Structure 1
Amino acid sequence: MRVLKITVLAALLVMAASVAAFAGPTYDRVMSTKVVKAGLSNQGIPFGFIDEKNEWVGFDVDMATEIAKRLGAKLEKVVVNNNTRISFVQTNPPKVDMVLSNMTHKRVRDEKIDFSITYFFDGQKFLAKKGAVKDIKDLANLKVGSMQGTTSIVNATEYLKKLGNPSPKVTGYDGEVAMFEALRSGRVQAITTDSTILLGYAAKIPGQFELVGDFISDEPYGIGLPQDDSAWRDAINFTVQDMWKDGTYMTIYNKWFGPESSYPFPMTSKIEMWP
């Protein structure tokens, strides 16, 4: 009986140590409420969007769902856009516990919130009507649109200067839908943001639009997290790494970006793994 008691005590101590390793305000609250609030786009095809069945779907939605499941919590989806995805993490208490919204991990953003390890690798390109851009230098003389609250405008402005336009003006629109509509209606001749977003919208009208030129930036996506909450950040990082290790990540990736998907985009790198 004494041996049994010692064994049980040892097991409890191990469990306590495991919990203590993740002790922190966000982790403790999530473990207590069994709810994870995730900020997700509902316009960011194919990361988070409303499909023809009026269901909220996408790569980020599936990633957030799997993360919540592995943490033993229910996922509560919260709509964010390019102007709110950081502020919703900054509030006290945060309006969301994590943001998966095709958000590039930039140093300037890291001054405001924390990020997970990179969980998706993309780059910025331009989308134009098929045949409209014969040479990449043609972009310098075109009206270009992008999205408000993104680094895409800055990147595009600098790139167009290099192509020969000394004072380019890139018009910022409120979200992906408005940006793409500006291209469809002819108010701009090209739009620019992360290539997978452009692929997603081009797929809505097959054969009419095409990506032009090479990548003009690297866009490593991170999961936005509350500042200075290392316990929660570790829990998210370990979960993403576990998903990569057991193949779940690539199952989700291939669903949305595999060769047989609607948005084929070859995997360009791999998740950072810790021993």
Structure 2
Amino acid sequence: MRVLKIAVMAALLVMAASVAFAGPTYDRVMSTKVVKAGLSNQGIPFGFIDDKNEWVGFDVDMAAEIAKRLDCKLEKTVVNNNTRISFVQTNPSKVDMVLANMTHKRVRDEKIDFSITYFFDGQKFLAKKDTVKDVNDLANMKVGSMQGTTSIVNATAYLKSLGNANPKVVGYDGEVAMFEALRSGRVQAISTDSTLLLGYAAKVPGQFELVGEFISDEPYGIGLPQDDSAWRDAVNFAIQDIWRDGTYQKIYDKWFGPDSKYPFPLTSKIEMWP
């Protein structure tokens, strides 16, 4: 009888510990079997509406695969550069995770949590073909970037490093507006993550080109609600499993492989835990 009581008490302690470590997001997702993902619908090729009016992209495929690994249904919600953090912060959160080509920055980590890096990019400039002969030409150009991003900060700092003490950098509300400003000539170059620039340049092949070297490293993380380690672990384990069995490479090649519309070599590997 004493042995049985000890066994029961041990089982209760294990259950109590699991409840204590599980957070509200993890509990809700496991209960409802629905993962609410915040995704861009303008971030070619990460999340966008294609010619068939379907919501597609690298981030969309990754979100679907993560939900599948968790045996959950995926529910998609549109976010942009101004809402992707606030939607995670809302209590209860409007979304359980955000995949929206978002660089993991320390300043952002003060507001929300992040997964391990799941994509590796860097910031560049895009200009009309043959208009930039040397990177120093950018110094006195009017440049567009995006509001609510670190890209606008990086672009401003870079132009200053080229010798322009007061560079003209205009912030636009999203990728579409930024690219249209370049196409119309309201700015002479735009700057953000290179894969986004490749995505929009591919809409009008041969008219635009990336110029200069990378001006920053942009490790993308999945935005997650603060202080929910059980949910963060679940997402991290899913990402690592997707990488381990080769599914990540298939998704990557679909969007960024040598035969894709947006070729971009994979230069790093995801952090793997034994």
What TM bracket, shorter-length normalisation? over 0.9
**After superposition, what is the alpha-carbon deviation per residue over 1:210-264, rounded to whole angstroms, capped at 9, x for unaligned?**
0000000000000000001111000000000011000011110010000010000
Q: Does 1:271 align with 2:266?
A: no
Name the SS of the counterpart of 1:67 in structure 2: helix
Aligned to 1:225: 224
Aligned equivalents of 1:20, 1:44: Cα separation in 2: 38
The change in CA–CA distance for 1:196 and 1:59 in structure 2 (over 3 A counts) is same
SS of alignment partner, residue 273 of structure 1: coil
Q: Equivalent residue for 2:114? A: 115
Say yes or no: does 1:245 pair with 2:221: no
Contact 1:22 1:232 in 2 (8 A): no
Segments of 5+ residues of structure 1 without an aligned counterpart are 1-8
Q: Deviations over 1:156-177 (max 9, x none)?
A: 1110011110111210000000
CA distance in 2, matches of 1:213, 1:243: 33
Give the corresponding residue for 2:148: 149
Distance 1:263 1:16, change over 3 A: farther
Q: Is the 8 A contact 1:140 1:164 kept in 2?
A: yes
Residues 14-35 of structure 1, C-alpha deviation per residue, up to 9 Å, x if partnerless?
A: x979976972211110011111
Secondary structure in structure 2 of the residue aligned to 1:213: strand
Residue number in structure 2 paired with 1:136: 135
- Contact persistence 2:22–2:228 (CA under 8 A): no
1:61 equivalent in structure 2: 60
**Sequence identity (%):** 85
In structure 1, what is the Cα distance between the partners aligned to 2:273 and 2:97? 21
CA gap of 1:35–1:18, structure 2 versus 1, over 3 A, is: farther
Give yes or no for contact 1:22–1:235 (8 Å, CA) kept in 2. no
SS at match of 2:213: coil
CA distance in 2, matches of 1:268, 1:228: 31
Specify the alignment match of 2:23 in structure 1: 24
Contact kept in structure 2, 1:22 and 1:234, CA below 8 Å: no
The alignment partner of 1:216 has SS state of strand
SS where residue 215 of structure 2 aligns? coil
| 1:65-84 Cα deviation digits (max 9, x unpaired) | 00001111110000000000
Quote the Cα distance in structure 1 between the aligned partners of 2:27 and 2:156.
44
> What is the distance in 1 between the residues matched to 2:72 and 2:18?
15
Partner of 2:94: 95
* Residue 47 (structure 1) aligns with: 46
Partner AA of 2:151 in structure 1: S
**Residue 127 (str. 1) matches residue 126 (str. 2):** yes
1:69-88 aligned within 5 A: 69-88=68-87
What's 1:216 paired with?
215
What is the CA deviation profile of residues 75-105 of structure 1, one whole-angstrom value per residue up to 9, with x for unaligned ones?
A: 0000000000000000000000000000000
How far does residue 268 in structure 1 lie from its aligned partner after superposition? 1.0
C-alpha distance in 2, partners of 1:18/1:259? Answer: 48
Find the counterpart in structure 2 of residue 205 from structure 1: 204
The aligned length equals 264
TM-score by length of 2: 0.93
- Between the aligned partners of 1:214 and 1:21, the Cα distance in structure 2 is 48
Once residues 32 and 189 of structure 1 are traced to their aligned partners in structure 2, the CA distance between those partners, rounded to angstroms, is 51
* Residue identity matched to 2:84: R
Structure 1 residue matching 2:117: 3-state secondary structure: strand
TM-score using structure 1 length:
0.93
Q: Is the 8 A contact 1:47 1:59 kept in 2?
A: yes
Contact 2:182 2:189 in 1 (8 A): yes
Please say if residues 141 and 168 of structure 2, whose CA atoms lie closer than 8 Å, have aligned partners that are also in contact: no
Root-mean-square deviation (CA, aligned residues, Å) is 1.8
Q: Tell whether the 8 Å contact from 2:22 to 2:229 is kept in structure 1 after alignment.
A: no
1:148 partner letter: Q
Residue 41 of structure 2 contacts residue 48 of structure 2 at CA under 8 Å; is this kept in 1?
A: yes
| Structure-2 separation of matches of 1:160 and 1:61 | 33
